[in-house]
């Protein structure tokens, strides 16, 4: 007959621990109390971090909802074809008060297109208009931009005064350090609306190194 001694051994171990705790020296009890206190502190810190992240996500959602409402109104109030770059460009470079609380970095910002003048590719080429992350370039409420992933990881969400919201989805051989490249649909848009500027950008969310077409569509409400 086979006898399973494991439950018996577990019970014995529990009994030993209970007896030991009853007769433990004040020093041992103090150490146990300190251990429990440290665990409680770690759990509290984790909960606070989760709450902070939740608040940031809620702020981003509110920003998106406001931007999408503006987008709908633009559609409703004009009979002309909606041009996202005209709506999303913050011409005056005004930084909303709720954006100012986010960390900022001073960068040199240039503009680029999907065309040969910027990427060496032409319409019809296999990877024309495809970013490093795999999503297609887009100028909209949330636009695709290029950055150095060591400074702004792929998936980071930035607010660029004078341009709007940018999602880091692309990289570039000339985009090193504190340089970002803002996507525009045409070369004329690049020169007429941006050119090259030094600007403080606000980091609303740091990316985790990846970004998908599904996420971009969701942000723009398409």
When pLDDT is averaged across residues 72-96 and rounded to a whole number, the result is 51
0.85 exceeded by the pTM?
A: no
Angle at 155 between CA 176 and CA 47, to 5 degrees: 120
Task: Pick the closest to residue 169 from 195, 208, 199, 118 (CA basis).
Answer: 208
CA distances (Å), origin 18, targets 7, 14, 15, 36, 155: 17, 6, 5, 16, 51
Selected residue with higher pLDDT from 93 and 135: 135
Query: Under CATH, which architecture does the 84-220 domain have?
Result: Beta Barrel (2.40)
Task: Check residue 70 and give its pLDDT.
Answer: 52
Q: Give pLDDT tens digits for 141-160.
A: 999 999 999 999 999 999 99
- The Cα–Cα gap between 37 and 35 comes to 5
Domain locations in the chain as residue ranges = 84-220
What is the band of 58 on the pLDDT scale with cuts at 50, 70, 90? low
């Amino acid at each position: 007959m086979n006898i399973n001694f494991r439950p018996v051994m577990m019970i014995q171990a529990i009994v030993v621990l209970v007896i030991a705790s009853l007769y433990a020296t004040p020093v041992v009890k103090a150490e146990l109390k300190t251990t429990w206190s440290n665990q409680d502190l770690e759990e509290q810190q984790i909960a606070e971090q989760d709450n902070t992240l939740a608040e940031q996500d809620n702020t981003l959602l509110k920003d998106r909802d406001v931007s999408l409402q503006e987008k709908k109104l633009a559609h409703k109030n004009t009979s002309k074809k909606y041009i996202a770059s005209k709506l999303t460009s913050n011409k005056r470079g005004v930084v909303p008060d709720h954006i100012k609380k986010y960390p900022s970095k001073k960068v040199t910002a240039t503009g680029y297109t999907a065309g040969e003048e910027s990427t060496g590719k032409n319409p019809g080429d296999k990877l024309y208009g495809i970013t490093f992350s795999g999503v297609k370039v887009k100028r909209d409420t949330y636009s695709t931009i290029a950055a150095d992933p060591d400074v702004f990881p792929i998936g980071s969400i930035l607010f660029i005064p004078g341009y709007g919201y940018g999602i880091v989805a692309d990289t570039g051989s000339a985009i090193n350090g504190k340089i970002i490249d803002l996507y525009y649909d045409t070369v004329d848009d690049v020169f007429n609306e941006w050119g090259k500027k030094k600007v403080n950008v606000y980091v609303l969310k740091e990316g985790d190194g990846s970004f998908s077409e599904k996420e971009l569509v969701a942000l723009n409400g398409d």
